[in-house]
Amino acid sequence: MSLSVFEGFLSTPEMLEVFAGPSVVQAMMDFEAALARAQAAEGVISRDAALAIAGVCKAELYDVEAIVAASRRAGSLAIPLVAKLTETVALFNGEASQVVHWGSTSQDVIDTATVLVTRRAMALIDRDLSALIASLLALYERHGHAPLLARTLMQPASVTSFGFKLAGWLAALVGAQQRLHAAAPRALQLQFGGAVGSLATLGTQGPAVARRVAGLLQLPEPQGVWHTQRGDWVSLGCEIGVLVGSLSKIATDWALMGQGEIGELAEPSGAGRGGSSAMPHKRNPVSSMFALAAAQRAPQRVAALLSAMAQEHERGLGNWQAELAEWAGLFVSAHGGLKALADAAAGLAVDEARMLVNLGSLRGVVHAEAVAMRMARVVGKPKAQALLEMLSRRALAERVELKTLALQALDDDAVLRAAVPRADVETLFDPHVAAASAVARADEALARLRPQARALAAAQPWALFLSGA
């Protein structure tokens, strides 16, 4: 079954593959094989039966499209899969075919398979998040101390440094990765409870079998069934949503700083990247575009996961099924945005000269706060602020530099003149002086963030699963 072209456009082939039929069906097969092996180890079924079952738990033996197609009639992906698996086992070992899927239920195999493919999805996310962080850290080394116009509520505000901006982006990404590393182990749990969750078919052997299945699948010690208790699971989905939110903040800044009139940043260009079918001069910020597109979608995926939590009794009707589809959609779209930013960050063009030009282009009014605060020490904040408000308005209206007006005001006021040396005011208009606090704060932040980023990159909790189960 083919994907909507607009969906594929916004994702990555890697992540699409993770949630596609062959991958999910193989993960279901992995569950069935582990189940058979675990039950053999606990003496529930024979070793031969387990071997016979595990031997055919290979997705490539089956017509995945046909299984998916049949699932719609059955109302569950597991039913046709188990039927086909049973048929296939029967070709080799009639007895073994009697104990396929023994003690298990559809949701066990579907949820566990989703956990297994999500572990691979997490590996991709983690890899590219580390790459993005590394690229931003490298940008800090090169451009961290460059003075930059700070903007609040979409208006020029005052002076900051590009490194201060980078520190903010990095803090958010490092925090996101830390929270993902904490949330995932709670979420990536075996699902195994049988028909209604109590492992009734396996009687007292249930917990031991569950532990063995988890072990074979390299999942943590099971904490019980979570058929209709999706809190830990959805909490991981939320963290993906928050990650996308933090990506969207970065992409927003990139898009704004990359506007033609501003030109402080540019995404890498190259053969065919970001062109236009109509306009020959266009270099569109397509990486920001993918991240912003993901950010339009992830919040709604998360809302769907949350609203699907009211699952009825021992298995939900509609909500569980919707959750699975939204879950896949969330990862597929999140990775589209993350990968795009990671790729672009590695080649991001930073124009320090343009940053200085922009800083200087507003008649110096972005230094108004600093001047006001300096004068405020003498005449108080309200009076100083009112003075600079008036001077800023004049600077813009009369196209005069605020510096000129401020020095004039100093000269004209005996009290100020006595207390504030001219040089003090002049220096406030030096971008590097103005950026000094931002530089210091950012350097402090980086001292904290670098070792955290290093530790996270070293952890690689899902690296093992990067190249498939």
Structure token pair of residue 267: 């995404």
Candidates 248, 215, 228; CA nearest to 318 is 228
Size of the site for a second copy (CB under 8 A): 206
Q: What span, in angstroms and rounded, lies between the C-alpha atoms of 25 and 250?
A: 36
Q: Do 346 and 33 touch, CB atoms closer than 8 A? A: no
For this structure, is 393 an active site residue?
A: no
Q: Decide if residue 2 touches a second copy (CB under 8 A).
A: yes
Q: How far is CA 275 from CA 13, 283, 289, 311, 372, in A?
A: 22, 5, 13, 47, 46
What is the spatial distance between Cα 256 and Cα 57, in angstroms, rounded to a whole number?
Answer: 51
The one among 47, 63, 92, 393 contacting a second copy by CB under 8 A: 393
CB of 218 to a second copy, least distance (A): 22
284 binds a second copy (CB under 8 A): yes
Least distance CB 328 / a second copy (angstroms): 4
The site map against a second copy for 197-236 (x = CB under 8 A) is xxxxxxxx-xx---------------xxxx-xxxxx-xx-
Q: Any residues with CB less than 8 A from the CB of 121 and at least 6 apart, and which? A: 15, 18, 19, 331, 335
Between CA 325 and CA 318 the distance in angstroms is 11
* Binding to a second copy, residues 143-162 (CB under 8 A): 149-161
Catalytic residue from among 47, 72, 142, 276: 276
**321 makes contact with a second copy (CB under 8 A):** yes
Q: Alpha-carbon distance 20 to 16, whole Å? A: 6
Q: Does residue 422 carry a catalytic annotation?
A: no
Q: How far is the CB of 282 from a second copy (least distance, A)?
A: 6
Cα–Cα distance, 95 to 368 (Å, whole number): 85
List the structure tokens of 347: 């080649």
Taking each helix axis from N to C terminus, what angle separates 47-55 and 78-92, rounded to the nearest 10 degrees? 120
Question: Exactly one of 41, 238, 346, 356 binds a second copy (CB under 8 A); which one?
Answer: 238
- Residue 419 touches a second copy, criterion: CB under 8 A: no
Binds a second copy by CB under 8 A, chosen from 55, 215, 268, 274: 274
Among 34-42, 138-146, 320-328, 454-462, the segment contacting a second copy (CB under 8 A): 320-328
Task: State how far the Cα of 359 lies from the Cα of 83, in Å rounded to an integer.
Answer: 69
Window contacting a second copy (CB under 8 A); options: 129-137, 355-363, 408-416, 459-467: 355-363
Residues of this chain, 330-349, that bind a second copy according to CB under 8 A = 332-333
The angle formed by the CA atoms of residues 18, 21 and 24, to the nearest 5 degrees, is: 60
Q: Quick check: 30 binds a second copy (CB under 8 A)?
A: no
- Nearest approach in angstroms of CB 399 to a second copy is 12
Q: CB count, 10 Å around CB of 324?
A: 18
Q: Which is nearer to a second copy, 13 or 141 (CB)?
A: 13
CB of 341 to a second copy, least distance (A): 12
The residue from 30, 111, 128, 326 that contacts a second copy (CB under 8 A) is 326
One-letter identity of residue 314: E
Site membership for a second copy, residue 413 (CB under 8 A): no
Indicate the SS3 state at residue 412: helix
> Which residue of the set 127, 230, 315, 363 is catalytic?
315
Is residue 56 part of the contact set for a second copy (CB under 8 A)?
Answer: no
Residue (325 or 464) nearer to a second copy, CB: 325
Q: Which is nearer to a second copy, 331 or 463 (CB)?
A: 331
Segment near a second copy (CB under 8 A), from 34-42, 118-126, 293-301, 461-469? Answer: 293-301
What is the footprint of a second copy within residues 425-454 (CB under 8 A)? Answer: 434, 436-438, 440-441, 444-445, 448
Build a one-symbol-per-residue string for 65-94: x at contacts with a second copy by CB under 8 A, - elsewhere: ---xxxxxxxxxxxx--x---x-------x
- Say how many C-beta atoms besides its own lie within 10 A of residue 319's C-beta: 18
Considering just the CA atoms, what is the radius of gyration of the chain in Å? 30
H helix runs in 217-285, sequence order: 231-257
Q: Does 423 bind a second copy (CB under 8 A)?
A: no
Q: What are phi and psi of 262, to 5 degrees?
A: -115, -55
Q: Is 100 in the site for a second copy (CB under 8 A)?
A: yes
- Does 185 bind a second copy (CB under 8 A)? Our answer is no
DSSP H or E segment with residue 349: strand 349-350
Active site (catalytic) residues: 276, 315
